[in-house]
Amino acid sequence: MAKAMTKAQIVGRIADNADITKAAANAILEDLASLAAKEAKNGFTLPGIGKVVLVNRKARMGRNPQTGQPIKIPAKRVVRIRIAKGLKDAILGGK
């Protein structure tokens, strides 16, 4: 199985494809990440890639895998990325 791309590899690929410096590509990537983090509460959409949203999880009962004892898992907010349909079909293959 191939390894996941590193940030440096992603920045290099963006810089080569857009014909810009690696520093500029890194600045764009950092700005995009900070913008997504700031706007996640409103839903942040990256067209063609997906949508970053905050989701409220309910409290639930779980089980300690080592002892088998039931434990209470508290409610919390989590970040989810909803993958765009076109990207999902490209990765998994169309129906």
Statement: the pTM of the whole predicted model exceeds 0.75: no
What integer pLDDT is reported at residue 27 of this predicted model? 96
Range list of β-strands (E), the chain: 44-46, 50-57, 60-63, 70-73, 76-83
Share of the chain above pLDDT 70, in %: 97
How far from each other are the two terminal CA atoms of the chain, in whole angstroms?
Answer: 25
For the chain, the domains span 1-40, 43-95
pLDDT of residue 1: 64
pLDDT tens, position by position, 35-55: 998 888 888 998 989 999 899
Q: What dotted CATH number matches 43-95? A: 4.10.520.10
